[in-house]
Structure 1
Amino acid sequence: MSLVTVGTTLVLVPALLAAALLWAAGRRDVPDSQTARAARRHETLIAVASTVAALATGVAVLSRPVAGGAAWLPVDGAPGLLWAVGPFVVALAYCAVRAAGELTWPRPRGSVRSAPLTRRTVRDLGGRRLRWLLVTAGLLALALVVTGMTAAPDGRSVPHPVYVTADGGVLRGASGPYPGWPYAVPLLVGLVLSLLAALATLRVVARRAPLEDVPREHDDAVRRTSAARVVAGVQLCVGATTALVLLLSGAAIANAGGPVSGFGETFRTPQLVAVAGGLAVVGIAVGLASVVAVVTAVGHRPPERRP
């Protein structure tokens, strides 16, 4: 139940908030032409549709029974594999609907057509949001490689330090859940697919034809709004996964380094407890920053007046 609560808090609640803010943002228009307002409403419709698709996918993943089969079965308190890769499934659904929506913009009509000579790139549209997404993805990849290499042979726990008592007794054990290779490999695959989907969707946004009868600065503003929302949606999924991986890993490491009693003696490893605390702080910070990225991407980007 705790995993459902955490997943709902980090993914579904911000997504619902984003959907509500999107609807409100679509109703606030700055004074400009009717065609520019229609373009922003069309972008809002695409954003709402992709958010609803992501919500439906998230609910479908979380509603799956955790004891539905050996491949999805939690072992020693570890989350099912389907739940683990669920955020990336949500990201793929979100990008698929967004990319399809970008293809629904009206095509230029008439015998005389024009196009700006400015070349738009994925890097330009993504900006600092795309850089933050790549940093978050790099942090998640690094964490998964480290947890995969340090996990116990079962791949679902982290081994405790081996303590030797004064009379020759040996204390050993393991704590979980811990994302070893059985979880790290599917998560890394899901991460790569999500990043590729985000980049492909940004490419569609960058290469779509200019909107007819819409001033260039307003067309650029709509395009930047689309790009910001694409990156923010994937950022939420990647950031939530990163936060959960760091928090679960930190909890297991803290348990491994905490007090262990046996043969009349008590042992602890303060260094592991400190590492666990650092992982928890970073995980919470990444999760909150990802939610902020979604909220700040909801509004329409203002048009940039060109001389």
Structure 2
Amino acid sequence: MDSLLGLQFPAAVGVVLAGASLLAAAALWWDGQRAVAPSAAARRAARHAALTAGVGTVPLIFGILLVPTYYFGGYLALVGHRAAVLPVVSLLGLLAVHAVGEMTWPRPRGTQRQARLVARTVHDVAPGRLRRAAMMWLAGAVVVAVGFGLMASGPRSVSRVVGLDQAFTVDPFPGWLWTVPILAASTAAVVLTELVLRLVASRPAIDDVDEEWDMWLRRRVARRILRSVQLVLGWTLAGLIAVGGLSLRRLGLGYGSGTAAGASPSSAHLVAGSTLLLAALAVALLALVVAVWPSRDTAPAAAMADDEPAEAQA
């Protein structure tokens, strides 16, 4: 099966992802336009943040779950390099939903409105550990891409020379055909993450709670975003390393096609492949641990905000 809903499978995937993102954006826009009761503004803001996070996972989960269909579902159009980049592309959908959620943040309505003027930066709301993890996975993907690109004998294959004029080839291998789209999408995801975090830091404060509770909610939203980003980037890197390791093991076992098909095993390729598989497992586990590691940032009591000289009447 290489079609879905009457469209070629890649086009159908794009349509469904775009539709999910548009529906999420419309829901968030409508949700943000409703009036905020001053006595329930904190509860309203927390509900809006939860809605944003919930709807944002729709394109992400859809994209991640489509990857196994390449291996088990028989979708011919979802070839290896497209399946590999799909989770990161889906991550862009999640970040787009979060951006809409921040731009449609609930605002108080009425004849008199207040807004506290407090200077905030991304460093104030975003945990440094999670930001560093995302950058680390991106840097790791660059190193792996360059290494595999130099190692590959083609855009998606790797070869082993046997003797003077014999060689055999194994594919798929994450050469440039795999890594260039993944690097482009991952870089876009990291840049978009920073932009969304800026929106989190700069959006209007909740008008009837103190600054401490307002900052706690901002940090909670930023953690949700960064957990997803670093997890997808980490697992994508682990997947690349695993595919490369499996290909090198096949190469070492003498599998493949070419003039020397069925050659004797190569211990060097077997050791390299096994090492890469262990590294992929370590990366995947580390990304999962970082994503689920509990935060000690507990919610403070949502005290009513006092009038301060720093407030501005709107």
Deviation at 1:188, TM superposition (A): 1.4
| 2:41–2:206 CA contact under 8 A, matched in 1 | no
- What's the TM-score, normalizing by structure 1? 0.72
Correspondence for 1:102: 102
Correspondence for 1:29: none
Correspondence for 1:145: 146
Deviation at 1:194, TM superposition (A): 1.3
Q: Within 1, Cα distance between the matches of 2:263 and 2:93?
A: 50
| 1:246–1:282 CA contact under 8 A, matched in 2 | yes
Which amino acid letter does the alignment assign opposite residue 177 of structure 1? P
Deviation at 1:239, TM superposition (A): 1.6
Deviation at 1:171, TM superposition (A): 4.0
Deviation at 1:57, TM superposition (A): 4.3
Q: Within 2, Cα distance between the matches of 1:287 and 1:91?
A: 17
Q: Within 2, Cα distance between the matches of 1:157 and 1:93?
A: 30
Correspondence for 2:225: 230
* 1:101-145: CA deviation from partner (whole Å, max 9, x where unpaired): 112222255646342534322575141101011101111111111
Deviation at 1:304, TM superposition (A): 6.2
Change (3 A) 1:178 1:137: same
SS of equivalent to 1:152: coil
2:295 maps to 1:302:
no
Deviation at 1:283, TM superposition (A): 1.1
| 1:233–1:294 CA contact under 8 A, matched in 2 | yes
Q: Higher mean Cα deviation, 176-185 or 86-95?
A: 176-185
Which amino acid letter does the alignment assign opposite residue 274 of structure 1? V
Correspondence for 1:55: 61
1:2-41 to structure 2, matched below 5 A, reads 35-41=41-47
2:84 maps to 1:84:
yes
Which amino acid letter does the alignment assign opposite residue 248 of structure 1? V
| 2:127–2:223 CA contact under 8 A, matched in 1 | yes
| Runs of at least 5 residues in structure 1 that lack an aligned partner in the other structure | 1-32
Q: Higher mean Cα deviation, 93-102 or 230-239?
A: 230-239
2:175 maps to 1:183:
no
2:274 maps to 1:277:
yes
SS of equivalent to 1:173: strand
Q: Higher mean Cα deviation, 176-185 or 250-259?
A: 250-259
Q: Within 2, Cα distance between the matches of 1:211 and 1:148?
A: 50
| Runs of at least 5 residues in structure 2 that lack an aligned partner in the other structure | 1-38, 302-314
Deviation at 1:242, TM superposition (A): 0.8
Q: Within 2, Cα distance between the matches of 1:91 and 1:289?
A: 19
1:121-132 to structure 2, matched below 5 A, reads 121-122=122-123, 125-132=126-133
Q: Within 2, Cα distance between the matches of 1:227 and 1:40?
A: 13
Correspondence for 2:249: 254
Q: Within 2, Cα distance between the matches of 1:123 and 1:146?
A: 36
Q: Within 1, Cα distance between the matches of 2:65 and 2:279?
A: 27
SS of equivalent to 2:116: coil
Q: Within 1, Cα distance between the matches of 2:236 and 2:103?
A: 30
Which of 218, 221, 238 is 2:216 aligned to?
Answer: 221
Which amino acid letter does the alignment assign opposite residue 284 of structure 2? G
SS of equivalent to 2:114: coil
SS of equivalent to 1:172: strand
Q: Higher mean Cα deviation, 223-232 or 275-284?
A: 275-284
Deviation at 1:98, TM superposition (A): 1.0
* 1:27-76: CA deviation from partner (whole Å, max 9, x where unpaired): xxxxxx964444323221211111123224445677687434xxx6x4xx
Q: How many corresponding residue pairs?
A: 255
SS of equivalent to 2:46: helix
Aligned identity (percent) is: 28
Change (3 A) 1:211 1:84: same
| 2:115–2:204 CA contact under 8 A, matched in 1 | no
Change (3 A) 1:229 1:146: same
Correspondence for 2:25: none
| 2:125–2:222 CA contact under 8 A, matched in 1 | no
1:137-216 to structure 2, matched below 5 A, reads 137-153=138-154, 155-160=155-160, 162-164=161-163, 170-216=165-211
